[in-house]
Amino acid sequence: MDAQPLHTPVLLERCIDLLAPAIDSGPRVVVDATLGMGGHAEAMLERFPELHLVGLDRDTDALAIAGERLSRFGDRVDLVHTVYDGIGEALDSLGIEEIDGALFDLGVSSVQLDRAERGFAYSREAPLDMRMDQTTGATAADVIATYDERDLRRIFHQYGEERLAARYAQRIVRAREESPIETSERLVAILQEATPAALSRAGHPAKRVFQALRIEVNRELSVLEDAVPEALGRIRLGGRIVVMAYQSLEDRIVKHALQAVTRSTAPAGLPVELPEHRPEFRLLTRGAEIAGDDERAMNPRATSVRLRAAERTRGTTT
């Protein structure tokens, strides 16, 4: 499959600008922790001829597409089938101790959204799968079939921030007693029927429920909580990290992880900050950056992006 027309990388130029000072000269190593279809990776490899890229993805379809797309770069590329909290193990397997840059482009990839049979889109009829790695784990249909009403309510509220979480969970449990809920079409019909008319005009009733199911199936938040600190720990002095999040729960985790390493550890009242108390990183963005009007118009997937970045300013032994 030709990946190029299917995938427009989000904030491509901004990501490269932020990473460039760390990867633009001499042999450097960057990790694309969410490789997807390889759009960001390809652009970095083209612009920085001495760059070595390690691409991680849990999705075997994405790895196959990106592998073909990046094959012309030969041994400058290593691809690893893993969830991005496995970044440390992946680097160890390649004999790499430190990296110069790390890029995370979170959320659902183009290959997952564009293939209806993957079940990520509530607007398309498909089996309720939603696994980013289709080789392992429970599907969204399994969650719908086995979670009790309380747990369904919890994930809809916690991961989807859905105010009708209790109502939807109750209707799903009632409906599955009649017959299994195995397709997106059936789940959407249940949610639409359960949505009061006054609220149905506020947005598609399935949007937040599908988000919640996807996060639960793929353990996205717990994985992210481990992955960002793991990546930060591997970045050399002067190296940089860029993270793009697409919903508030992800962005909050990234924000807190970066705050933890960009804050002085000096005790309150200490008259002089000692070197060992200085922050390990400095923020490169003021809060979370968003895409401009032109990019949002050109690439709808950039509409909700929130970008944060940081640079290591103190080594672990300095």
The whole-angstrom separation of Cα 172 and Cα 191 is 8
| One-letter identity of residue 314 | R
52 is in an annotated binding site: no
Cα-based torsion angle of the residue sequence 194, 249, 9, 285 in order, rounded to the nearest 10 degrees: 150
57 is in an annotated binding site: yes
The whole-angstrom separation of Cα 240 and Cα 20 is 9
The whole-angstrom separation of Cα 76 and Cα 120 is 33
Question: What is the full DSSP assignment across 12-81?
Answer: HHHHHHHHHHHHSSSSEEEEETT-TTSHHHHHHHHH-TTEEEEEEES-HHHHHHHHHHTGGGGGGEEEEE
For residue 62, is pLDDT > 80?
A: yes
The whole-angstrom separation of Cα 184 and Cα 124 is 7
- What pLDDT is stored for residue 116 in this prediction? 62
- What pLDDT is stored for residue 201 in this prediction? 66
38 is in an annotated binding site: yes
Q: Per-residue pLDDT tens for 217-244?
A: 999 999 999 999 999 999 999 999 999 9
The whole-angstrom separation of Cα 11 and Cα 118 is 25
- What pLDDT is stored for residue 107 in this prediction? 84
Distance of CA 94 to the CA centre of its chain: 23
Q: Per-residue pLDDT tens for 156-194?
A: 999 999 999 999 999 999 999 999 999 999 999 999 999
- What pLDDT is stored for residue 269 in this prediction? 63
- What pLDDT is stored for residue 7 in this prediction? 65
For residue 316, is pLDDT > 90?
A: no
Are 151 and 171 in contact by the 8 Å Cβ rule? The answer is no
| One-letter identity of residue 21 | P
For the residues 240-259, what does the mean pLDDT come to?
97
- What pLDDT is stored for residue 302 in this prediction? 92
The whole-angstrom separation of Cα 3 and Cα 46 is 16
Q: Per-residue pLDDT tens for 3-19?
A: 444 567 999 999 999 99
- What pLDDT is stored for residue 109 in this prediction? 72
For residue 1, is pLDDT > 60?
A: no
75 is in an annotated binding site: no
**Ramachandran region, residue 285 (left: φ > 0; alpha: ψ -120 to 50; beta: rest):** beta
Are 99 and 91 in contact by the 8 Å Cβ rule? The answer is yes
For residue 126, is pLDDT > 80?
A: yes
Q: pLDDT band at 28, cuts 50/70/90?
A: very high
Joined tokens for residue 165: 């979480």
Q: pLDDT band at 202, cuts 50/70/90?
A: low
84 is in an annotated binding site: yes
Lowest mean pLDDT among 49-58, 110-119, 136-145, 226-235: 110-119
55 is in an annotated binding site: no
| Torsion 19-24-29-35 (CA) sign | positive
Residue whose structure tokens are 């990106």: 66
| One-letter identity of residue 269 | G
Q: Per-residue pLDDT tens for 71-91?
A: 999 999 999 999 999 999 999
Domains of the chain from N-terminus onward = 4-111+220-312 (3.40.50.150), 117-218 (1.10.150.170)
In the 8-state DSSP scheme, what is residue 133? S
Mean pLDDT of the chain: 91
Q: Per-residue pLDDT tens for 103-122?
A: 999 987 766 666 666 767 77
